[in-house]
């Protein structure tokens, strides 16, 4: 059984699902409903040619504790009824935590794709989620050697395997399609632009931080294209910042886009500003290779920093703008090889499970 519920999970589990289909492995697909917006969820399932979920949970609450409780209470009876050999999850979302707890209590072995990432920043809900799930997992598929070492230092009891990251599998398979088919012209201005995304709770739920981001986007020395996450849009409106952002001459605020459109935006942009984790990985993929300013105080992707793709610049206006300056960008060292694998992570994951 594969359980997913958000855009990053859909993208990163897609190559695993394709590999199971290729090898005629029977599986059940469960959608938690964590991302209820069509552009953030259903459109990605469609674009990535994934089957319709066998089971969908229509969550009634967006708050964390009721959401976790609801997923666990709905998955529990399903696991008891279907008794899958394994339950497979990816990443660090509320869906992953809830599914991991449900599997553990139902006695179903848990397989965690993208295990071992650590930011050591306990302000991040995701840091708590991934640590708990790693210690519940029977199989831990670490994307890099560093992630594997993190797990070894924590003495996890499960089986750790370094596989590469499945997001690179997805990028390599879909970038040519994206460039050929995605209709990105209406989403990007002529000439140079930077792609920006912000959605993390510790950022957008903080009025001061979100105000800093809006000021940076308005004053940036390069045009900003901003696909606006529903959570971020809600907070901008709540804090009285949305109208000013929409009126900014330097910012193109657009609706969330599908996976193919987003890949094309990453390909065409000059620079990325983001608080996303997955985008830090996608930017390193062969054929993309873009510089990323991470709008956070920490990252669980240190490999991308060392390879020269990523700079962690924090959340303060002055510091972010300093890194956006011509002088700072001009000093950026040459980027190295993609640190997240060769595009065969899904094959390694499924091969390992089938060998057991």
Q: Which has the closest alpha carbon to 3: 60, 61, 79?
A: 79
> Does residue 199 contact residue 275 with C-beta atoms inside 8 Å?
yes
What are the tokens at 283? 């930017």
Among 35, 174, 187, 199, the active-site one is: 199
Please report, for residues 157, 158, 352, the alpha-carbon distance to residue 152 in angstroms, rounded to integers and kept in the order given: 9, 10, 19
Cβ atoms within 10 Å of 180's Cβ, excluding its own: 9
The position carrying tokens 């397989």 is 111
The strand ranges marked E within the chain are: 2-4, 29-31, 55-56, 87-90, 110-113, 139-142, 159-162, 194-197, 224-227, 251-254, 271-274, 292-294, 310-312
> How big is the CA angle at 122 (ends 119 and 125), to the nearest 5 degrees?
90
- Does the annotation mark 174 as catalytic? no
In the DSSP assignment, the letter for residue 296 is S
User: Which residues lie closer than 8 Å to 273 by C-beta, 6 or more apart?
Assistant: 194, 195, 196, 197, 216, 224, 292, 293, 295, 320, 324
In the DSSP assignment, the letter for residue 185 is G
> Does residue 298 contact residue 210 with C-beta atoms inside 8 Å?
no
Cβ atoms within 10 Å of 124's Cβ, excluding its own: 20
> Does residue 59 contact residue 34 with C-beta atoms inside 8 Å?
yes
Active site amino acids: 199
């Amino acid at each position: 059984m594969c359980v997913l519920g958000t855009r990053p999970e859909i993208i990163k589990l897609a190559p695993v699902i394709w590999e199971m289909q290729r090898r005629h492995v029977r599986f059940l697909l469960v959608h938690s409903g964590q991302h209820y917006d069509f552009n953030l969820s259903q459109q990605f399932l469609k674009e990535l040619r994934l089957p319709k979920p066998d089971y969908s949970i229509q969550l009634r609450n967006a708050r964390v504790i009721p959401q976790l409780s609801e997923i666990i209470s709905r998955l529990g009876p399903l696991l008891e009824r279907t008794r899958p050999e394994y339950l497979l999850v990816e990443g660090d979302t509320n869906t992953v935590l809830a599914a991991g707890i449900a599997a553990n209590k139902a006695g179903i072995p848990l397989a965690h794709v993208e295990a071992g990432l650590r930011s050591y920043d306990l302000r991040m809900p995701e840091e708590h989620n991934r640590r708990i799930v790693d210690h519940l997992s029977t199989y831990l598929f670490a994307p890099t050697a560093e992630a594997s070492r993190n797990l070894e230092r924590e003495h996890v009891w499960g089986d750790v395997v370094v596989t590469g990251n499945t997001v690179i599998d997805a990028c390599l398979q879909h970038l040519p399609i994206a460039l050929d088919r995605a209709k990105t012209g209406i989403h990007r201005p002529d000439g140079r632009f930077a792609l920006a995304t912000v959605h993390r709770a510790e950022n957008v739920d903080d009025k001061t931080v979100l105000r800093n981001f809006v000021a940076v986007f308005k004053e940036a020395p390069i045009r900003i294209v901003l696909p606006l996450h529903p959570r971020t849009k809600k907070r901008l409106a709540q804090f009285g910042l949305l109208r000013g952002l929409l009126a900014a001459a330097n910012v193109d605020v657009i609706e969330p886009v599908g996976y193919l459109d987003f890949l094309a935006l990453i390909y065409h942009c000059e620079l990325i500003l983001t608080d996303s984790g997955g985008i830090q990985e996608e930017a390193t993929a062969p054929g993309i290779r873009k510089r990323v300013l991470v709008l956070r105080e920490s990252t669980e992707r240190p490999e991308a920093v060392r390879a020269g793709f990523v700079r962690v610049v924090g959340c303060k206006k002055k510091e972010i703008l300093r890194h956006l300056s011509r002088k700072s960008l001009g000093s950026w060292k040459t980027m190295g090889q993609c640190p997240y694998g060769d595009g065969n992570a899904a094959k390694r994951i499924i091969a390992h499970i089938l060998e057991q």
